Amino acid sequence: MEGGGARGFLPPFAHFATQAIHAGQEPEQWRSGAVVPPISLSTTFKQQAPGQHAGYEYSRSGNPTRDCLEKAVAALDGAKYCLAYASGLAATLNITHLLKAGDTIICMDDVYGGTNRYFRKVAMKMGLNVVFVDCTETECLEAAITPETKLVWVETPTNPTLKVIDIQACADVVHKHKDVLLVVDNTFMSAYFQRPLSLGADICTYSATKYMNGHSDVVMGLVSVNCDDLYERLKFLQNSLGAVPSPFDCYLCNRGLKTLKIRMKQHFRNGLAVARFLESDSRVEKVIFPGLPSHPQHELVKRQCTGCPGMVTFYIKGNVEHAATFLKNLKVFALAESLGGFESLAEHPAIMTHSSVPKEDREALGISDTLVRLSVGLEDEEDLLEDLDQALKAAFADHKA
């Protein structure tokens, strides 16, 4: 890290920490002058006359605490608007409701298991067509677009194999076609490391449950846009579908944003240390981390991101028993789903987060029985490396490394 940024990556987004702390948080909006936005739990708001209210009428339609969060996230995304939802999948649901039966979605082939499950087992049953394409190859994306295509869904880096997609190149392809939207799931990178809207995306979405909140105590989704019409359509759906977060969760996520910059910088440092350790270990077959020069799209990451999160994926040598023994013997890393919290987590995608993905698709994507996904937290580096080493020793107790 030099000059506040990571060597070779984009420079940090200007005023990020200041905006995270102050955007949408002005004490003047409260009669009390509260520096920390209060939690507005009221479900309804008094009107001065029928139809005359002070900006709020019913908490599903709008809430002061939620507004503070949405304004802050919009600022961090370099966006005009942000909308908060009850979960990341609730955000996905609302975006998908922009379409109608008969429309086609092109989805990156390697995505979060819940996204894959929703598109395959829910959206397709509602009359939408969904095709899965490797969007790291823009010619494949171009070939897949038809007159029925209305939305292209990508996440970068992908979950769990950490493929990186050139957002600008995808936007150039997508926007050659009228009325096709490009959605980028920015969950892994967070607003601190990547701004999809500035690279040509129409919609930036998150599971805020992960890095944006960062404390593993909130389930929430976020959507940021710049287009006025798109915002109004999504705002209508937010109210009509009703999948909104509670004011208390909005307060917690808003608080999490205040430390996003310092958390993400430490996630990067620890993630890089873990990736380097694993890459040098003879008990590990292969390490995938976009911050390593060995990652096939390392140069692309440096062109479109300010750094990398703490997500590290690796293939352990041996078989599923070796992977399971390794995971069961971790002590600092917790064996658990999810990611992006201050604590380090480890999981087995084929059995856990991506078990709903058809087996043949998992195998084609490289989600094998020896693939392990780590969410590297904020603990001391030496403790993380010692934990990985002792778990690897346990996994190969009957073999020489």
Residue 221 CB partners (closer than 8 Å, separation 6+): 84, 85, 86, 87, 88, 89, 90, 91, 92, 205, 206, 207, 208, 209
Cis amide linkage into residue 11, ω under 30° from 0: no
Residues serving a catalytic function are: 60, 112, 185, 210
Which residues on neighbouring strands pair with residue 69, listed in sequence order?
none
Q: Which two tokens stand for residue 23?
A: 């955007």
Q: What is the DSSP letter of 49?
A: B
Which residues on neighbouring strands pair with residue 371, listed in sequence order?
315
Q: Which two tokens stand for residue 238?
A: 């937010």
Cα 188 from Cα 200, distance rounded (Å): 18
Q: Which two tokens stand for residue 92?
A: 């996905």
Q: Which residue's entry shows tokens 């109210």?
A: 239
Burial class (CB in 10 A: 0-12, 13-18, 19+), 215: middle
* Nearest alpha carbon to residue 343 among 300, 308, 374, 365: 374
Rg (the chain; Cα; Å): 21
Query: What phi and psi, each to the nearest 5 degrees, are found at residue 374?
Result: -115, 135
The total of other beta-carbon atoms located within 10 Å of residue 136's CB is: 22
Burial class (CB in 10 A: 0-12, 13-18, 19+), 82: buried
Q: Is the dihedral of CA 321, 322, 327, 331 positive or negative?
A: positive
Residue 291 CB partners (closer than 8 Å, separation 6+): 6, 268, 271, 272, 275, 298, 301, 307, 308
Taking the CA of residue 74 as centre, how many other CA atoms within 13 Å lie in the half-sphere pointing to its CB? 19
* Nearest alpha carbon to residue 188 among 79, 70, 108, 106: 108
